[in-house]
Amino acid sequence: MKILVFAENWDGIFKKSSFEAVSYSRELAEQNNYELITLSFNNVSDEEINKLSKYGSSTVITTNPIDKVDSISMSKLISDLTIQYDIKLFIFSSTYSSKMFAPRLSAKLNSSIFTNVIELPSSLNPLKLKKKVFSSKAFEIAKSNSEKNIIMIHPNSYGVKEFSSNLKSQGFTFESKNEIQIINIQKSSGKVNLSEADIVISAGRGMKGPENWELIEELAKCLNAATACSKPVSDIGWRPHSEHVGQTGKTVAPNLYFAIGISGAIQHLAGVNSSKVMVAINTDPEAPFFKAANYGIVGDAFSVVPKLIEEIKNIKN
What is the CATH classification number for the domain harbouring 111? 3.40.50.620
pLDDT digits (tens, 9 = 90+) for 225-280: 999 999 999 999 999 998 999 988 888 889 999 999 999 998 899 889 889 999 99
Same domain, 168 and 202: no
Same domain, 162 and 222: no
Angle between helices 96-109 and 71-85 (to 10 degrees): 50
Angle between helices 301-316 and 213-223 (to 10 degrees): 20
Q: Is residue 177 part of a domain?
A: no
Same domain, 157 and 201: no
Q: Is residue 183 part of a domain?
A: no
Which residues span the domain enclosing 277? 194-316
Taking CA atoms, 18 is separated from 22, 52, 238, 259, in Å, by 6, 9, 32, 27
Q: Which residues of the chain have pLDDT under 50?
A: none
- For every residue of 197-210, DSSP letters joined together read -SEEEEE-GGG-SG
**CATH number for 241:** 3.40.50.1220
Indicate the pTM of the whole model: 0.78
Closest to 73 measured CA to CA, from 162, 179, 208: 179
Q: What confidence score (pLDDT) does residue 182 get?
A: 66
Taking CA atoms, 194 is separated from 24, 93, 118, 218, 248, in Å, by 22, 15, 20, 16, 15
Provide the 10 A C-beta neighbour count for residue 296: 18
Q: Is residue 295 part of a domain?
A: yes
Q: Is residue 19 part of a domain?
A: yes
Same domain, 240 and 204: yes
Type of residue at 99:
K
Same domain, 14 and 68: yes
Q: Which of 138, 172, 206 is the last residue of a domain?
A: 172
Coil, strand or helix: which one is 66? coil
Same domain, 98 and 151: yes
Q: What confidence score (pLDDT) does residue 179 get?
A: 64
Which positions ≥6 away from 246 have C-beta within 8 Å? Answer: 230, 231, 265, 267, 268, 269, 270, 271, 272
Q: Is residue 181 part of a domain?
A: no
Same domain, 200 and 161: no
CB 98 within 8 A of CB 70: no
CB 43 within 8 A of CB 66: no
Q: What confidence score (pLDDT) does residue 166 get?
A: 75
How many domains are contained in the chain?
2
Cα of 141 vs its chain's centroid, Å? 22
Same domain, 245 and 164: no
Same domain, 148 and 215: no
Same domain, 35 and 149: yes
Same domain, 25 and 150: yes
Beta strands 256-260 and 277-282, pairing class: parallel
Q: Is residue 179 part of a domain?
A: no
Same domain, 52 and 201: no
